[in-house]
Amino acid sequence: VTAPAQIVLRRYPDGAPTPSDFEATGLDVPEPGDGEVLVEVTHLSMDPFPRLRMQPRPPVGPPLPLGEAVDGRGLGRVVASRFAGLAVGDMIAGDVGWRTHAVLPGDRAKRLDPGLGPPERHLSALGPSGMTAYFAMHVVGAPEAGSTVVIAPAAGSVGSLAGQIAGLAGARVVGIGARSQAAALTGALGFDAAVDHRDLAAGLAAACPDGVDLFLDGVGGPAHDAVVARMNPRGRVVLLGFIAGYNDGGPPAYGTAAPILFKRLRVEGFLLADWQARFDEALRQMSAWLGSGELRPVEHVWMGLEQAPAAFAALFGDAPPGKQIVRVQA
Ligand SMILES: NC(=O)c1ccc[n+]([C@@H]2O[C@H](COP(=O)([O-])OP(=O)(O)OC[C@H]3O[C@@H](n4cnc5c(N)ncnc54)[C@H](OP(=O)(O)O)[C@@H]3O)[C@@H](O)[C@H]2O)c1
């Protein structure tokens, strides 16, 4: 049994986050009020976007408060319920935060269907990362067979799934990532080529001899410009995020818009929140692909709540391929 604990933010990171920006402290287990449930947190999802809120004046959302448990999505098992829709023993997903126990409003806790797969899957292919990969690549991007698709970052949570989805559509799939990810991308993840993000111009020229038709961009800045420079006329760009700027407080500098005009590109911003009404469709399709073996979940599990700071820091460093998940309790 894990003693009740939480991981709090000690100070705002200066550049890339490090484990010493965080601290483990004890936790008084709260009581659920009317309409609320108490959960034992089992797993945490590590996501890069909250880094933007680890500063006094974030470009989006309120700052993450210092000295309090870090906000974050995860899974938990209901251990006390004062909400009619959830019973003790139910597994739920919700904004549990980096702690061993959390009280949530019952209507903000989503009951999981354990028949769909092990808990980790509900944070990867069947969770927000998988939903993002499905809608951004399969629905919005909708690559044609034989077209060239570039994904950045490619080996991470969204990219590793989006690349497989583009491959299922018959596209040639090129991933951008750290040099250390190249073997994973072109091996188990099924990408056709890997490009090191420190050597983009030459790497893209070699990997995309016929230009680029679709670009799923979660990096922004110079990587965005390098891929746009190789796009074919009437190519399309789906903007997911700009992780290259998360440690600097906001969007990195993007280059000129001239290539968008001259190549008549279409650039579309993507926010998963817009797609909630269609999550059932995505869950059905992702489950079918997982069931048939056409889609492989890519997950890396860190054991113990105390690993959360290192797992989060790895998102901005040398994370192993796939979704970074912290297992808090079995
Ligand atoms: N719009 C939406 O609704 C939505 C939803 C989910 C995610 N997103 C965005 O999609 C992107 C990917 O998210 P994810 O959850 O799948 O994260 P992720 O790819 O699992 O993790 C981050 C990866 O980004 C790469 N990276 C880190 N710092 C970088 C830098 N300075 N320059 C270039 N690459 C860097 C690293 O890969 P390498 O080691 O291979 O370089 C790292 O493993 C993020 O921008 C995220 O905010 C958007």
Distance from residue 35's CA to the centre of ligand 1 (Å):
35
- Which residue has a Cα nearest atom 18 of ligand 1? 156
Two structure tokens written together for 5: 């604990």
Pocket flag, ligand 1, residue 241 (CB < 6 Å): yes
**CA distances from residue 252 to 115, 204, 219 in whole angstroms, order as listed:** 42, 21, 9
Measured from the CA of 246, which atom of ligand 1 is nearest?
31
Q: Find how far residue 5's CA is from the centre of its chain.
A: 25
Distance from residue 153's CA to the centre of ligand 1 (Å):
5
Distance from residue 48's CA to the centre of ligand 1 (Å):
6
Pocket flag, ligand 1, residue 197 (CB < 6 Å): yes
- Which residue has a Cα nearest atom 12 of ligand 1? 218
Q: What is the pLDDT of residue 52?
A: 95
Q: Find how far residue 188's CA is from the centre of its chain.
A: 19
Q: How far apart are CA 18 and CA 317, in angstroms?
A: 10
Pocket flag, ligand 1, residue 181 (CB < 6 Å): yes
pLDDT, averaged in runs of 10, over the chain (330 residues): 88 98 96 98 97 94 95 98 98 98 98 94 98 98 98 97 98 94 90 94 96 98 96 98 94 93 97 97 97 96 98 96 94
Question: Can you say whether residue 67 is alpha, beta or left, with left for phi > 0 and alpha for psi between -120 and 50 degrees?
Answer: left
Q: How far apart are CA 16 and CA 246, in angstroms?
A: 9
Q: What is the pLDDT of residue 2?
A: 63
Q: Which residues of 134-147 are buried (b: 16+ CB within 10 A; e: fewer)?
A: bbbbbebbebeeeb
Q: Which residues of 203-215 are buried (b: 16+ CB within 10 A; e: fewer)?
A: bbeebbeeebbbb
Distance from residue 323's CA to the centre of ligand 1 (Å):
10
Distance from residue 292's CA to the centre of ligand 1 (Å):
27
Q: Does residue 259 contact residue 265 with C-beta atoms inside 8 Å?
A: yes
Measured from the CA of 244, which atom of ligand 1 is nearest?
31
- Which residue has a Cα nearest atom 40 of ligand 1? 177
Pocket flag, ligand 1, residue 100 (CB < 6 Å): no
DSSP, collapsed to helix, strand or coil, labels residue 126 as coil
Q: Which residues pair with 196 in a beta bridge?
A: 177
Q: What is the pLDDT of residue 39?
A: 98
Q: Does residue 54 contact residue 64 with C-beta atoms inside 8 Å?
A: yes
Q: How many Cβ atoms sit within 10 Å of the Cβ of residue 236?
A: 21
